[in-house]
Structure 1
């Protein structure tokens, strides 16, 4: 089988008469459970450090390993979705997640807890591209915005609930309840999907290229790990720069190999479609800004304004919840008006919010932070799903798995790179301020130094967001080539 035959005669699934409601419901339940879990541990880390007698640098592996596994696994999903049905992929993902959650809940040691988190991440890494690919398969282009918006509701609201929910549970129950409470939700998701989820994917079963999988794993894994490590340490650490160098070289080899192959693991021909390429660049820039801002804000709230982890979670909750509510609204508006009407105003809001964050200091009020955060996340809700849908709409059907895998993978990479970059800028600004201070050991000066570092980081974020705004003016409504051919006929 060669790529030409795949393109012209895919083994298409008959989607006539398919019930979209139960399928989307099954996906939403699974996505909510998996994504909620990503932020549930945020307030439990101090308890876990005491429980297992370990340092912060060790406990951070619960987050680093999770991100690393997803970054490595997502590129392979393009191949897996052409070998296994939608039901097989989704049920496998949720069963992996359920097993991982059970392992975490019963873990007697930190090592076992880390193994459980890695198994959970394998399930989540499989799940994210399946959701997007399924929406592309069962909805026509003119209705995809609303469906993608429903996914956005889950993707954005679940992380908002996580930190606050974990704070409440940690205050009243043992940390293991963070996993016990997820178990019945995971089991229900598996049951619901087993009853209602249907296969909607085309199975072409292309050749499996082990070398591509290996190079992809080293490449994306090296980049995500290297930048994640840099975000918590130093760029001069050999472990940081060597993993980034090895990862970068491997990615170059991976791209070269994919362009030479007839049946690539990740079909980079998706980048031949200009709107998809533009959206990838736009989202890379935006995700770097968003991930880093959501990492820097808790530092300010807890270290400068001296809030508890629970209170800082509550401060950031209104913006996150409003972001989730706005996601389906922006999806419906996208279907009616197209991308530019939403994306450009959304990016203007993001730029404005980052401008407000540049003005924070030790006297900044909580209401100022909440307002700035709400403006930024409402702006992001107007950009994320409309932009993704615009880019994916231009792809032909056989490139759907590859397009979703590319978007999800590069967003993970952008998150790791952006977080490391902005934390480094913050640390550098703090160090510069304290080096010029007359009393750098004073607590007040330490807070002022952190504020100076944060202002430097938000200034760079403001400039990056301006670049995204310029890109947003070039977005326009798209149709896939095969859709255009149907209309012409």
Structure 2
């Protein structure tokens, strides 16, 4: 996707290119499946006669596969056309959805989820890279607001959508409903989509692929086990820490390898993206934001269903307004960013995130449901005000030949942050609950106390977003494509074998 871009007619003001609209729709459908199984855990346990720990793998395996596949997408998107990438990604996703719907056993269901995630992993980098190429800088905020709907709102709405479907059908309906929708989106997209740029033949370093798979996969896998080990004893926890450390070691070797390959211009994941200050700050803020969002998404269903006795449908309806509000605000926030810049949005959004998570530290067995709804809505609205400008600033702070690598790294870090956020809140909650139960506190009160502490930890981490938000530039043009102090960030454009030809400023 970093190939030379032919001259294109100027995009009309206020219009979103058809190719971006199609990719947003497809990305929404596939990313929705990352969290759609959260409410189905009890049904899976009964239907397939598996433990809760095993059932959690339908979500964990999805995140794990995304973390392994996304680092390869930067190379993949350079070798194929837009239509080919779209057809392959959606075809793989459809195959995984059909396999999951018909799965006769848990093992086959798990395989279907892995296949689903392999297709999903391509869609977000494809969308982000295409958007940065075809949308002019002055209109990116508005268009990125629509992208927020797919990238951020889809996982937020997953539990709500699954709650509604599970009310009228079995867990298989979660896949049966998605399958025809995804098939129609695929067919319509292939009929209407244009190719953006030309593919470039480039080599791939398979040693880097192995390091990335073992490193990012091991890190996400180890983090996902922390919650189960929190109450299982020191032996299990020690093994999980060992897996995480092995993953970190592999990532360290991966980084060293990429730094070496950058001298030849053909790294699997170009780390020169991190030499751009605006992109690096955006990456930090997005990662912490996803950590907070996924942590809250795990804790709230546990609180509402296990402690307050709500059904999956009631839980879904309670959190749906926040998810819908986030989606509806995405385009509005994008237009506000184009007009006013980032400061009136990102800093208030970060503060709102901290206030919402801080409010959740007061959960109790008698907290009014309207307060839960209000705090969740405040969290989602705050994330909407934050994500769109930060996406736009971060990607806009990169030169065009690094777009595919920047979007690939952003997607990878989102999966790692989601796994870390989930592991963190479950581990903190479990450890606190076990400690209080051992001291003779009633189980219900102990779990409430554990949830309060878990929300408190996420609120403390979210304070980082306020600090980072204050350092971000007001607009993309303030950041430039070459941040000061990053001498090795980018060699002269055109000296990247396998990275495509130069792209001039007026072509973006």
What is the TM-score normalised by the length of structure 2? 0.88
Partner residue of 1:110? 106
| Pair 1:148-2:141 in alignment | no
Partner residue of 1:243? 243
What is the correspondence of 1:57-456 to structure 2 with a 5 Å cutoff?
57-201=53-197, 203-234=199-230, 236-237=235-236, 238-261=238-261, 262=264, 263-437=266-440, 440=441, 445-456=442-453
Q: Secondary structure at the match of 1:473?
A: helix
C-alpha distance in structure 2 between counterparts of 1:413 and 1:432, whole Å: 28
Task: Compute the displacement of 1:232 (Å).
Answer: 2.9
Q: Residues 163 and 131 from structure 1, CA distance in 2 versus in 1: closer, same or farther, beyond 3 angstroms?
A: same
Task: Compute the displacement of 1:485 (Å).
Answer: 8.5
Q: Secondary structure at the match of 2:476?
A: coil
C-alpha distance in structure 2 between counterparts of 1:243 and 1:58, whole Å: 18
Cα deviation, 1:70-120, whole Å, max 9, x if unaligned, reads 010001100001111111111100001111111112222222111111111
Q: Is the 8 A contact 1:226 1:241 kept in 2?
A: yes
Cα deviation, 1:356-391, whole Å, max 9, x if unaligned, reads 111222221101110111111110100012111101
Q: Is the 8 A contact 1:221 1:247 kept in 2?
A: yes
Mean Cα displacement is larger for which, 304-313 or 125-134?
Answer: 304-313
Q: Is the 8 A contact 1:163 1:310 kept in 2?
A: no
Task: Compute the displacement of 1:122 (Å).
Answer: 0.5
Q: Residues 484 and 50 from structure 1, CA distance in 2 versus in 1: closer, same or farther, beyond 3 angstroms?
A: closer
Task: Compute the displacement of 1:44 (Å).
Answer: 2.6
Q: Residues 265 and 460 from structure 1, CA distance in 2 versus in 1: closer, same or farther, beyond 3 angstroms?
A: same
| Pair 1:12-2:15 in alignment | no
Task: Compute the displacement of 1:213 (Å).
Answer: 0.6
C-alpha distance in structure 2 between counterparts of 1:466 and 1:475, whole Å: 15
C-alpha distance in structure 2 between counterparts of 1:118 and 1:15, whole Å: 38
Cα deviation, 1:154-188, whole Å, max 9, x if unaligned, reads 33443454333333333323432222222211111
Q: From 7, 18, 21, give the equivalent of 1:25.
A: 21
Structure with bigger RCO (C-alpha 8 Å, 6+ apart): 2
Task: Compute the displacement of 1:233 (Å).
Answer: 2.5
Partner residue of 1:40? 36
Mean Cα displacement is larger for which, 147-156 or 357-366?
Answer: 147-156
Q: Is the 8 A contact 2:396 2:481 kept in 1?
A: no
Q: Is the 8 A contact 2:276 2:481 kept in 1?
A: no
Q: Residues 319 and 469 from structure 1, CA distance in 2 versus in 1: closer, same or farther, beyond 3 angstroms?
A: same
Cα deviation, 1:2-35, whole Å, max 9, x if unaligned, reads xxxx99xx53344336795321221122112212
Q: Is the 8 A contact 2:160 2:319 kept in 1?
A: no
Q: Is the 8 A contact 1:155 1:324 kept in 2?
A: no
Q: Secondary structure at the match of 1:181?
A: helix
Q: Is the 8 A contact 2:164 2:316 kept in 1?
A: no
Structure 1, gaps ≥5 residues long: 1-5
What is the count of residue pairs matched by the alignment?
Answer: 474
Task: Compute the displacement of 1:121 (Å).
Answer: 0.6
Cα deviation, 1:121-176, whole Å, max 9, x if unaligned, reads 11101111111111111111211111111121233443454333333333323432
Task: Compute the displacement of 1:202 (Å).
Answer: 5.0
Cα deviation, 1:385-444, whole Å, max 9, x if unaligned, reads 21111011010000000000111101110111121112211122223333333xx3xxxx
Q: Secondary structure at the match of 1:359?
A: coil
RMSD: 2.2
| Pair 1:457-2:450 in alignment | no
